[in-house]
Structure 1
Amino acid sequence: MSTMILQLQHVFKHYQLEGKQIPVLKDINFEVEAGATLAIVGPSGSGKSTLLGLCAGLDQPSEGSIRLHGIELAGLNEDKLAQIRNEHVGFVFQNFQLLPTLTALENVMVPMELKGQKDHKAKAIALLERVGLGGRADHYPSQLSGGEQQRVSLARAFANKPKILFADEPTGNLDAETSQIIEEMLFELNRESGTTLIIVTHDLELAAKTQRVIPIKGGQIQ
């Protein structure tokens, strides 16, 4: 078994718009070792979020090969991709993406319930305590600050013990002080879990905290 958890070979992505082909990513090649931390950096519109979506199996490449945990993603149907994401992948988004009708605790329990984990309530409570929100388990997202919502999303992201975690601008909606707390928490949880971490960001200070940085501009690795 390769120690590489993610491998991209000659990946292209383009969209059709009014009969024209719009290139977004051009000939992307890189691989990531299991347990590594990596940042993909670039200006808005550079293709970095599109690249993250392809790596995570949220979208399909137009050409090329993407292997996640040894599984070729290109050509798989949506049901199979969803299964792979549920088993191997965690996500943290800029806008938190918590379910508004569920409490903090219920939000953290969702991925564990989908996977059929036992003792999921106790595990979810422990995760909320780990991110400093043990006392806010019964609060709904609207009752939490932005930083607190992102802590809930961190707890949810690690709930399934993912092999790889994708964080898309994880501190993009937070002030500097809160961002610092969330970043430290993200890296700590990642170290404890031995998860591979891939962060998409335009924040070069955040990127510098990872072991490796891949700059992308105009859809190509620089």
Structure 2
Amino acid sequence: MSSNILQLNQVSKNYRIGAANLSVLRDISFDIEEGATVAIVGPSGSGKTTLLGLCAGLDHCSEGTIVLNGISLHELNEDQLAQVRNAHVGFVFQNFQLLPTLTALENVLVPMELRGMKNMKNKAMDLLDKVGLSARMNHYPSQLSGGEQQRVSLARAFANSPKILFADEPTGNLDAETGLLVENLLFQLNEELGTTLVIVTHDMELAAKTQRIIPIRGGAII
């Protein structure tokens, strides 16, 4: 029997703007099983990226509870959240977010160094090989195409052997052909390494490749 790696119970997120209270998410509840692939879909402004940030411990919810791999995120301070992210979570962003002064190899090494892992360089090189970038590992982000940069960010996302990987519009800045390559690599690595995958996207073709779709509109699940 699979256990749940992520549990949300009546989660809401509000922001104060002057005297007004802006409600971005309302009463979101769902569980995600360990090893599952899930897409959170919805139009721009629906709250899906905010939801992803809450699930990943990048922000606190205003109400409700979030439990990630048995850890109650809503009870943690910023330093504790950072420790949880480093130990359990991988990220892939639409705009790659590679460090421009580091080579592809050095970018992949960063999360490993934060965890003090052993045999780091060999593992980083192996991950770059898996995404087809062995020959580009000493190149800087500015010397790589968008698709190559996203493949480096994929290798980096899996570098700390995360229990769960969050991908925010992972193919949003890529052309169709390159996007398909990155999608295939994402699912391939995910299956190979046994990670839970949560993708935020408005691309229904990408969402259809996951085992489960959670639709969100106007800050609520529909």
Aligned to 1:145: 145
Task: Name the SS of the counterpart of 2:180 in structure 1.
Answer: helix
Aligned to 2:71: 71
Distance 1:46 1:218 in 2: 5
Distance 2:194 2:175 in 1: 28
Equivalent residues of 1:7, 1:30 under 8 A apart:
yes
Q: CA deviation at 1:165?
A: 0.1
Aligned to 1:18: 18
Between the aligned residues of both structures, percent identity stands at: 72
Distance 1:119 1:8 in 2: 36
Equivalent residues of 2:2, 2:34 under 8 A apart:
no
Equivalent residues in 2 for 1:80-159, closer than 5 Å = 80-159=80-159
Equivalent residues of 2:207, 2:213 under 8 A apart:
yes
Q: CA deviation at 1:119?
A: 1.1
Equivalent residues in 2 for 1:167-186, closer than 5 Å = 167-186=167-186
Question: What's the CA shift string for 1:40-86, capped at 9, x where partnerless?
Answer: 00000000000000000000000000000011000310000000000
What are the ranges of 5 or more consecutive residues in structure 2 without an aligned counterpart? none
Distance 2:2 2:70 in 1: 7
Q: CA deviation at 1:19?
A: 1.5
TM-score by length of 2: 0.99
Letter aligned with residue 176 of structure 1: A
Task: Name the SS of the counterpart of 1:74 in structure 2.
Answer: helix
Distance 1:111 1:154 in 2: 12
Distance 2:36 2:126 in 1: 25
Aligned to 1:8: 8
Aligned to 1:38: 38
Aligned to 2:162: 162
Equivalent residues of 1:2, 1:70 under 8 A apart:
no
Q: CA deviation at 1:2?
A: 7.5
Task: Name the SS of the counterpart of 2:74 in structure 1.
Answer: coil
Distance 1:46 1:9 in 2: 19
What are the ranges of 5 or more consecutive residues in structure 1 without an aligned counterpart? none
Question: What's the CA shift string for 1:121-169, capped at 9, x where partnerless?
Answer: 1111111111000000110000000000000000000001100000000
Distance 2:133 2:60 in 1: 36
Aligned to 2:187: 187
Q: CA deviation at 1:209?
A: 0.2
**Which 4+ runs in 1 deviate beyond 4 A?**
none
Aligned to 1:206: 206
Bigger Cα displacement from structure 2, 72-81 vs 33-42:
72-81
Aligned to 1:29: 29
Equivalent residues of 1:60, 1:75 under 8 A apart:
no
Letter aligned with residue 54 of structure 1: L
Equivalent residues of 2:25, 2:220 under 8 A apart:
yes
RMSD in angstroms over aligned alpha carbons?
Answer: 0.9
